[in-house]
Amino acid sequence: MPLVILCGLPASGKSSRERELQRYLEETAKIPVIVLSDCVHFGGLSKTELYSSSAAEKNLRAAVKSDIQRSISKETVVIVDALNYIKGYRYEIWCIAKSSKTPQCMIWCNTPIETAKSWNSSMPIAQQYSPEVYDALVMRFEPPDSQNRWENPLFTVLPEDVLPFNDILASLLNRQPPPPNQSTQSQPLAPVNYLHELDKVTQNITAAILSSQLNGQPGDKIIVPGIVEPIAFGQKISAPELSRLRRQFISHSRTRPVENLDRIPLVFIEYLKNTVK
């Protein structure tokens, strides 16, 4: 099910918006919800202590990201209630949603700084950010931008706004998830003996080409193992060059395996023909 990312300044009302959305989804839309809050990973530290330590803050983001990876499923909507103030971190979360083939949306609690500061001051002392830490987080906050594909659709809400529940629900249920690409999709599993066969076949073909070129001329037909029809190159290929091309082909084929082992000779020859000019 979809992912909802909340972001905003400290004390900008994210948790209140999370509760409103959760109540709507569960009671009106009848959709189960999982809420992931960063505060469960504070480990006894206050907000000031945690955000005064770059190491502790980094560990906090990693813990929340792990929660997201574990919680995404087909049965529930996952709401992430955290600062999420770093653009690159929001991109990482989007990649998780993309690899899980689920849509996401972002809700930006765009509360004016002075209002958010006032809300922070009205909290119990133990739950406040110190003025120094608060100002530092404001300086580091990177506002979301709907022009970024990982921050679209973006719902920007001010303190006096009512959450656009219908639009949020439509963005979660009616949008197609972003298509997977190589960076977010698992590669197909190769046979156990794939690398061994790859090395052996390409080595035999390389040896056959070098042997034929010793007594032949450019353009002569060459018989190579695994290929029925003789092949020809427009020019001789030196041993170092052929060795380099073989290494490139093996490296390429590690991440994009040839599905049928019997096709390795043909694919390797085609690779050489397209590469040697």
Give the mean pLDDT of the chain: 88
Instruction: Answer yes or no: is pLDDT of 49 > 50.
Output: yes
Q: Is the dihedral of CA 53, 55, 59, 62 positive or negative?
A: positive
- Please state the three-class secondary structure of 213-265 as a single string: HHHCCCCCCECCCCCCCCECCCCCCCHHHHHHHHHHHHHHHHHCCCCCHHHHH
Taken in order of first residue, the domains within the chain and their CATH numbers are 3-173 (3.40.50.300), 194-275 (no CATH)
pLDDT digits (tens, 9 = 90+) for 222-276: 887 877 778 877 778 888 888 988 988 888 888 778 878 888 888 888 888 887 7
The model's confidence at residue 71, banded by pLDDT at 50, 70 and 90, is very high
Rg (CA), the chain: 28
Instruction: Answer yes or no: is pLDDT of 209 > 60.
Output: yes
